[in-house]
Amino acid sequence: MSETTVRATEIRYSKENKSLTVTFDDGTMFLLPAEYLRVYSPSAEVRGHGADERKILAGRSHIGIMKIEPVGNYAVQIHFDDLHDTGLFSWAYLREMGEKQTEWWAQYLKDLEDRGLSREP
């Protein structure tokens, strides 16, 4: 799917669950926890400047979202309560996060374990 064919039609944040529900124009819906969104932020701080530079963020289990701002018709900027707010979550990236959530979350947990780190602050 190209960037232009992916379109989110609804984004809802639940403070109670600390999760974002993203619905796409084809009816597909994903529930994305704030912690997952934060540790896979598309920002340079998290991604680095290459595939082998991705940073593993520990201690984010209690992260929440303070604000979500639309960016044009293609993305949102998420303001997390740890004050991280860089990186644009395009519709295509949010969809990819949803489709690969099981795989990416398992990788994140393995990366934490391999480094002796915890999800807890």
Distance CA 81, CA 25 (A): 29
* Residues pairing with 11 in the sheet: 22
What one-character DSSP code corresponds to residue 119? Answer: S
Distance CA 100, CA 44 (A): 20
> What residues does each domain of the chain span?
8-114
Condensed to tens digits (0 to 9), the pLDDT of residues 29-64 reads: 999 999 999 999 998 778 776 667 788 999 999 999
CA 20 to mean position of chain CA atoms: 9
* CATH (residue range 8-114): 3.30.2020.30
**Three-state secondary-structure class, residue 17:** coil
pTM for the complete prediction? 0.91
Check whether 114 has a pLDDT greater than 90: yes
